[in-house]
Amino acid sequence: MRLVDLGMRICILGPSNSGKSTLAAAIAHARDLEAIHLDQLYHRPNTDWEPRPEAEFLALHDQAVGRDRWVMDGNYSKCMPQRLERATGLILLDVSTPTSLLRYTRRTLLERNRSGGLDGGRDSLKWDMIHHIVITTRRNRRRYAAMFRQINIPKLRLASVGEIAAFYQSEGLVRQ
């Protein structure tokens, strides 16, 4: 599956810290699409990842989904049906839990201005996030794998860091 086969509205799903936002930014740059990072819509800017009221987030989400050309990263299951209904393609990143934990630690301790980061916010190590990566993600993996099998749009599953790197190389993508 080539990137061009995924169309002009691409959803990127996967575990926390699997590289969704970085991939979305690279695809947006290469394909002249708008990168929409759902974490930025869900959380208030200039906070330590404080959520917006649910109605506000859903309105921002639905407004973004209604646009013509986008690559959108993030899971947020409660609004996934309307996102997938508009999507022309899907990428599922399925990296291992140790990889996600390593990326989370690196991002919180070393990275400052990363793709998908919260405007005016600062990442910090949080036990809730570690619990989410280690425990919650296990249930989500099974659910996303089942959803991936059932969905009938062009789709691509990248199941390791090596597969993701090979996809970047084969498509001429550059990490932004």
Look at residue 93 in the predicted model and tell me its pLDDT. 95
Look at residue 121 in the predicted model and tell me its pLDDT. 65
If you count DSSP H runs as helices and E runs as strands, how many of each does the chain have, helices first?
8, 5
- Beta carbons of 41 and 103 less than 8 angstroms apart: no
- Beta carbons of 97 and 17 less than 8 angstroms apart: no
What is the reported pTM?
0.91
Map out the domains of the chain as residue ranges.
3-171
Closest by CA position to 36, among listed 5, 57, 6, 18: 57
Look at residue 129 in the predicted model and tell me its pLDDT. 84
pLDDT tens sequence for the chain (176 residues):
899 999 999 999 999 889 999 999 999 999 999 999 999 999 998 888 889 999 999 999 999 999 999 999 999 999 999 999 999 999 999 999 999 899 888 888 777 676 777 676 667 788 888 888 888 887 888 888 888 999 999 999 999 999 999 999 999 999 97
Q: Is 130 exposed, middle or buried (0-12, 13-18, 19+ CB in 10 A)?
A: middle
Yes or no: domain 3-171 corresponds to CATH 3.40.50.300: yes
Look at residue 120 in the predicted model and tell me its pLDDT. 64
The radius of gyration computed from the CA coordinates of the chain, to the nearest angstrom, equals 15
Task: Quickly list H helices, 87-136.
Answer: 97-109, 127-131
